[in-house]
Structure 1
Amino acid sequence: MPLLFLTVALVAVAGCATSVAGHPVRQPTDPASLQVGNYQTTPRVVGNAKTGKQSRIRESQRLSDYVALPFEADRDYAFECSGDVRPHVVTNHKGLGDILINDTFDEVAHDLRGGWVDTWCTGAETEEKHRRLSIAVLELPDPDRAAAVSPTLEHDDSTYNNGNQPVSLPKYPASKAHWRPTVASIGSWTVHDRYVVYIKIVDELAAAPDLADLTGRTERMLDVALPLLDKFQPTPADKFEHIPLDPDGILGRTLPTNPELPLRPDPDGVYTGRGALQSLDSADLDFLTIGDVDLIGYGDALVFHSRTGRAARALWDKWNPAQNSPDKNRSIDPPPGFPGDVGCFADLANGQVMFHQCTFHVDKYNVQVGARNVAELYQKTAAEYVLVTSR
């Protein structure tokens, strides 16, 4: 794709030359030059939240980048657990799924501002049994509300089964926790400023329930989780109702999810870090530092923006589809006439094609696009190229 150098000129006058510093600006891509189908090719303005639910979802997405992931406390947690393909956003009791059995949650936490939950497992996905750790962070309006909500939720959680017994966390004596001595699991509730941190561990690998091991694992998770929450800046109360949904414009350059054919369980949104890992087949956060990533658009594609073109290129080198495992992926041709760095493949399971994906790099962007059939994949990939190269 040719570059237009809009601010660099060499003017020779009477044998003299003048150089004006500047940066090359890419010429916008003509949608007619690529096969984009009926997909959006003009960046859209997303605007501000219009409902309380939209505000809570956006605050949950902001919070997610400061919710510690299990592998940050213990590298044994290697993957998001199979069968847990569910939303990570918590705006009511449904967001916690079956990790919390509680029929009073919505009443007790009626003023919940948002929340986020992650569940990771140890070992390999092919194994039948795992050690499973779930961490949920709930944001309340202020510390007093968190201090009132947390013990009530723990009480309702622990008394749901009459076999539960209270236990203590030596490093966190203010936390409330419980377990059943005959079951290798533990649930704990911790108040930290305006946040309630719920951790549940289920150990299917244990030969016998080991309370010291369960409490130790819980404490190590809290050791990582609480300092991270101190770095989060909640949306001020007077801004919450109309919180910007796309303050930097990255979501406007991301294809919106088709509500009738969602590829992922969470709502479209913007992330700056950890929250985006929900859609990556990875158990590390290296992509953030290698790519110097500052914005991620999450919709019918994943759009990663780097602070510099050099960092974006480094991330492309890490993610280059040519490096994919042949037993999991099979290369396919890129979209016809597609410019620049692109690689496409069919995702395999037991030798059968399950999905198709293209990854491309241009300027400060790396983009991942997925679809169930190749024709749709090519059109979406081309449309995303137009979107990220538009001015």
Structure 2
Amino acid sequence: MVDGSAQRAAGEPAGPVNIAQLDVGNFPTTPAPMGVAGSKTQGAIAEGHRLANYVTGPWEVDPSLVSGAMTSGLVLKSSGALTLALAAEMASIPSGSSMVAGFHAWRKNANNAALEHTVLVFPDGEVAKTAAREFSDGAAAINGGSGSAHTIAGRPDTTAVAGTMELAGQPPVPRVTAVTAHERYVVIDSARSPDGIEAASAMVNKVLDLQLPLLDKFTPTDPAKLADLPVDATGLLARTLPIDISRATVNSRAVYERRGALHFQTDPVAAAQRWEKSGMTSQAISDGSVTENRDGEAAEQLLKDLVKEVRDKEQGQPAAPVKQMETNSQCLKLPGGTSGSPRPSAWCVATAGRYLIANQSGQLLETQQKVAAQYAMLMAS
């Protein structure tokens, strides 16, 4: 346990917390440096975390595309993970084994429109072109090859197939699957729209308009140096409550910039608006999350905005705040089936200077202890 009182930077809201009196349970309160990836696999995951910051979100193409699931944003660490992102006919291509890393994003709306957007990194441009051809052949074989070759206007480097997608209890929805080679990258899009093939094509065109310039700003890591890639380049992850390895996913144990972090938000459009107001710069995701903002006042407003959204959209009911942190924390009890949890849970948020802490678990006391430990960890460094 760390003794002492929290110290706030000049100009930040008052209300210090006596850290010595916090109930942190058995959770750690001391920052732990993360070091480097240490292996090619872990390096590919770290590269995927970096890449996420340069991947266009479907909501940027159409603000109604916000509905998703646990895999709405997904780091792809190897060719074996392609089955989680692509149709079976595309996931098993020979060149897939040479991919360095990737990221997959998808969202849908209430009208059955959806966009699945995948960005893959390859060792060089020639390998990427070969992989793109193989992905295109796989796209042509979807649904027994029932689709037809399709052209995306103004995209000579893009091959596409037009067809339909079967949805349970719904009429078939027009779909376009497109593959684009761009330097060391292959961008794969599957867009569906009840408004027809041209509407789906327009979605593909717009996502490429947004995506390709972003990739030109990304600096991929030399594949031979993946194991040396820092896991925590900012140092914020070391100050974030660590997650048990049995609960960690390829998306966690990471620090994301704003665009990257939006991929993991329940409503990325609303989150983008909140973060624009708060001057959000980064978010660490481990056991819970820590979001860095412009200053303490901005963090406090972000807390209020986030609590209102969770209360309104997820039927959150007020619960006791974190002990000894009554002035800078709030907790809600959530019914099952909300915020990614199939069972009832407790959700708590708190501010620690310019940082916003958020955590969720099945028990209120456990969640409160995690938030208290996270507060102590941030204030100890």
Q: Is the 8 A contact 1:96 1:117 kept in 2?
A: no
In the TM superposition, residue 159 of structure 1 has moved relative to its aligned partner by 2.3
SS at match of 1:40: coil
Q: 1:258 aligns with which of 244, 247, 253?
A: 244
Match of 2:335 in 1: 348
Q: Distance in 2 between matches of 1:390 and 1:27?
A: 17
Structure 1, residues 20-49: CA drift from partner, whole Å, max 9, x if none? xx899x999776421111111100011001
Q: What TM-score, normalized by structure 2, do the two folds share?
A: 0.85
1:283 is aligned, of 268, 271, 278, to: 268
With over 3 angstroms needed to count, the CA separation of the structure-2 counterparts of 1:288 and 1:4, relative to structure 1, is: closer
TM-score, L = length of structure 1: 0.83
Larger deviation, residues 330-339 vs 312-321: 312-321
Quick one: which amino acid aligns to residue 150 of structure 1? A
What is the DSSP-based 3-state SS (H/G/I as helix, E as strand, rest coil) of the residue aligned with 1:385?
helix
Identity within the alignment, %:
22
From 194, 216, 239, the equivalent of 1:230 is 216
1:277 and 1:354 map into 2 onto residues whose CA distance is: 24
The question of 1:156 aligning with 2:143 is answered: no
Shift of 1:267: 3.3
Report what 1:19 is aligned to.
none
Structure-1 residue corresponding to 2:252: 267
Q: Please say if 1:37 is aligned against 2:21.
A: no
> What secondary structure sits across from 1:184 in the alignment?
strand
Q: Contact between 1:296 and 1:304, CA under 8 Å: does it hold in 2?
A: yes
Normalized per residue, which structure has more helix? 2
Shift of 1:295: 2.3
Deviations 1:336-377 (CA, angstroms, capped at 9, x unpaired): 222641110011258997221101112110111111111211
Q: In the alignment, does 2:286 pair up with 1:299?
A: yes
**For 1:80-91, what aligned pairs fall within 5 Å after superposition?**
80=68, 82=69, 85=71, 88-91=74-77
Indicate the residue corresponding to 1:202 in structure 2: 192
What is the one-letter code of the residue matched to 1:111? S
Distance 2:151 2:60 in 1: 23
What is the aligned length?
Answer: 364
CA RMSD of aligned residues (A): 3.1
Alpha-carbon distance, 1:103 to partner: 6.6
Q: Which amino acid aligns with 1:180?
A: G
1:259 shift after superposition: 3.5
Instruction: Please give the alpha-carbon distance, in whole angstroms, between the structure 2 residues aligned to 1:134 and 1:5.
Output: 43
Partner residue, 2:97 = 110
Amino acid across the alignment from 2:234: D
In the TM superposition, 1:92-171 aligns within 5 A as 92-97=79-84, 99-102=86-89, 105=92, 107-123=94-110, 130-160=112-142, 161-171=144-154
| 8 Å CA contact 1:340, 1:361 repeated in 2 | no
1:385 maps to 2:375: yes
* C-alpha deviation, 1:68, in angstroms: 0.5
Q: Is the 8 Å Cα contact of residues 6 and 379 (structure 2) preserved in structure 1? A: no
| Preserved CA contact (<8 Å) 1:334 1:343 | yes
Which secondary structure state, in structure 1, belongs to the residue aligned with residue 74 of structure 2?
coil
How many angstroms apart in 2 are the aligned matches of 1:163 and 1:385?
A: 56
Asked if 1:364 corresponds to 2:364, the answer is no
The match for 2:167 is: none
Q: CA offset at residue 309 of structure 1?
A: 3.4
- When residues 69 and 255 of structure 1 are mapped into structure 2, their CA distance, relative to the original with a 3 A threshold, is same
Alpha-carbon distance change, 323 to 54 in structure 1, aligned in 2, over 3 angstroms: closer
CA-to-aligned-CA distance 1:132-154 (integer Å, 9 cap, x gap): 21000001122222122111122
Cα deviations by residue, 1:41-66 (Å, 9 ceiling, x for unpaired): 10001100111111000111111011
Residue by residue over 1:216-246, the C-alpha shift from the partner in whole angstroms, topping out at 9 and shown as x without a partner, is 2211221122122222222245643310000
Inter-CA distance 315–236: structure 2 relative to 1 (3 Å threshold): farther
SS at match of 1:324: helix
